[in-house]
Amino acid sequence: MTAAGPMRVIIDTDPGLDDAVAILHALNTPALAVEAVTAVAGNIGIATTTRNVGGLLAAMGRGDIPYAAGAAGPLAGDGRTEVAIHGADGLGGVPLPPAWVPPDSRSAMALMDAHLRAAPAGSLCILALGPLTNLAHLANEAPVAYARIGRIIAMGGTIDEPGNAGRFAEFNMAADPLAARMVLCGPVPVTLIPLDVTRRLRATPEDLDRLAAFGTPAATLAANLIRAYFAGHAERSSRPLHDPCVMLMAVAPALFGTERLRLTVDCDAHPGRLVQVPHGAEINVALRINAGQALDRLWQGLGAAA
C-alpha cells in the first residue's frame, strides 16, 4: 500500500495451483485493490480457468469483483497445458464453492478495456500470471486502453535457469511466444519475474502447517492447494511458488533485486526463450529474492484477518 492507497490492479490468470494461491493473497491483502480478474487458457483450458476464477472469488466472498473469459489459445500455433501438474480441474482436486455470479458477458479484453478507460491513465496495473495472450489481444484491439496501463508485472521466462517447457523456455512464454514478444516489446513498462527467482520461493510441508495455523479462509485454502502441489511428488522436500512472486513484487518490491536487461522472445528455434540482444526491449527483470522474508510476507498476507 502506498501513501495514496492500495495499488489498483487487474489480475490476468490461468489458475492453476500457484495462480490460485497468488489470487487468494491478492484478495486478502489491503495493499491491493483488485478491480477485475481475467482468465486465459494456459495451465488448463479456458472454461476451467474461468470457472476457477469464479470459485476463488466466491471462496473469498468477493462476488463484487467482475471476471471474464479471455483467449482460448495462443495467437498462433497449438496451446499447451500442465494437467500433469495441476490436475484435470487445475486445482489438484481441491474443491471450490460455485461462483456467486456468472462471468461477465464481455470478453476479458473488453472488460480490461472498460476498466482502463474509466480509470486515470497509469493508475491501473496488470498482474499477469499466465500466458500473455489476453494482453496481446488488448494491445491489438484497443491500443488506446492498453497504453493507459501503469505497468505490467508478469511471471515468466528464464535467464540462466533451465526451462520447464523445454531446455530453454518457461511455460508462460512458451505457451504463447508471439504474445510474449508483443507485450515485452510494447509501450507499457514490464517487470518480469523469471524462474531464476520463482524457484527460490519454496514451501515445505512444515511451512504449510504454519500457514494453516492462521485459520483464515485464504490461509486454509492456500495450504490445501499447495499440499495438492506435492501430489505425485512426495519425494520432494519443497515446492516452488511461482505466481505468488508477482503479488509480492507488487506489494513489497524491496524483497527483490532487479536489473534492466535488453530482451526479445524467440518465436522460432526455441519458442519462448528469452534472448538478450543489444536492440531488445529494456525490461526490469527480478534476478534475486530474499526467499525467507518473501515466504513470511506471503504467509502473513494469506493469514491476515479480513
The band of 42, judged by pLDDT with boundaries at 50, 70 and 90, is confident
For residue 84, the model assigns a pLDDT of 60
Residue 2 lies in a domain: no
Residue 232 lies in a domain: yes
Q: Based on the structure, what is the number of domains in the chain?
A: 1
Q: Give the chain's mean pLDDT.
A: 93
The band of 211, judged by pLDDT with boundaries at 50, 70 and 90, is very high
CATH number, domain containing residue 250:
3.90.245.10
Give yes or no for residue 234 having a pLDDT over 90. no
For residue 233, the model assigns a pLDDT of 65
For residue 39, the model assigns a pLDDT of 98
For residue 88, the model assigns a pLDDT of 72
Residue 22 lies in a domain: yes
User: Is residue 51 packed enough to be buried (19+ CB in 10 Å), middle (13-18) or exposed (0-12)?
Assistant: buried
For the segment 16-40, the average pLDDT, to the nearest whole number, is 96
| Structural contact between residues 148 and 119, judged by C-beta atoms closer than 8 angstroms | yes
Give yes or no for residue 236 having a pLDDT over 80. no
Residue 142 lies in a domain: yes
Active site residue 242: yes
For 81-119, what is each residue's pLDDT tens digit? 666 665 677 798 899 999 999 999 999 999 999 999 999
Give yes or no for residue 78 having a pLDDT over 80. no
Give yes or no for residue 251 having a pLDDT over 90. yes
| Whole-structure pTM value | 0.95
- How far lies 45's CA from each of 83, 139, 163, 260, in Å? 10, 22, 22, 34
Residue 271 lies in a domain: yes
For 166-201, what is each residue's pLDDT tens digit? 899 999 999 999 999 999 999 999 999 999 999 999
Q: Which of 25, 115, 242, 270 is catalytic?
A: 242
The band of 134, judged by pLDDT with boundaries at 50, 70 and 90, is very high
Residue 160 lies in a domain: yes
The parent domain of residue 108 ranges over: 7-303
For residue 82, the model assigns a pLDDT of 65
For residue 2, the model assigns a pLDDT of 54
For residue 77, the model assigns a pLDDT of 76
For 218-232, what is each residue's pLDDT tens digit? 999 999 999 988 876
Give yes or no for residue 20 having a pLDDT over 80. yes
| DSSP secondary structure, 200-265, as one string | TSEE-HHHHHHHHTT--HHHHHHHHHHHHHTTT-TT-S-EE--THHHHHHHH-GGGEEEEEEEEEE
